[in-house]
Amino acid sequence: MAEPFEPGDAVRVREDYPPGHIRTPVFIRGKEGVVTRTFGRFDNPEITTYELEGPQKTLYEVRFRQVDIWPDYDGSPSDTLDVDIYEHWLEKA
């Protein structure tokens, strides 16, 4: 099965604020980064926590520039942050 993304792809985190158990932190929603790693497919904890069945989702490591995340970031422009994000929270940038 073709993966929705692969390392090197530019992605944007969905800017969405649904209620319930969410594994994508608020501070990274709406930000753009680049996929650096594919971890594989896993049960989706946003579904399994409710003891429901659902399709497995691919988990990615996405690298963001700190200056893209924090408006007043005063560290080096080359500083980055890696966040593990499930495929359903990502869209093509």
Partner 1 sequence: MRGPHDVGGLKAGPVDTETHDMTFWEKQIDALHALIGDDKRRIVPKGQNRRYVEALGEDVYNTLSYYERWTATMSQQLLEKGVLSREEIDAKVREIRDRLEATGELELREGEAEKI
Residue closer to partner 1, measured from CB, 4 or 12 = 12
Per-residue x/- marks for partner 1, 26-65, CB under 8 A? xxx----------------x--xxxx--------------
Query: Would residue 36 be called left, alpha or beta, if left means φ above 0 and alpha means ψ between -120 and 50 degrees?
Result: alpha
Burial class (CB within 10 angstroms; exposed 0-12, middle 13-18, buried 19+) of 89: buried
Residue closer to partner 1, measured from CB, 9 or 63 = 63
CB of 19 to partner 1, least distance (A): 5
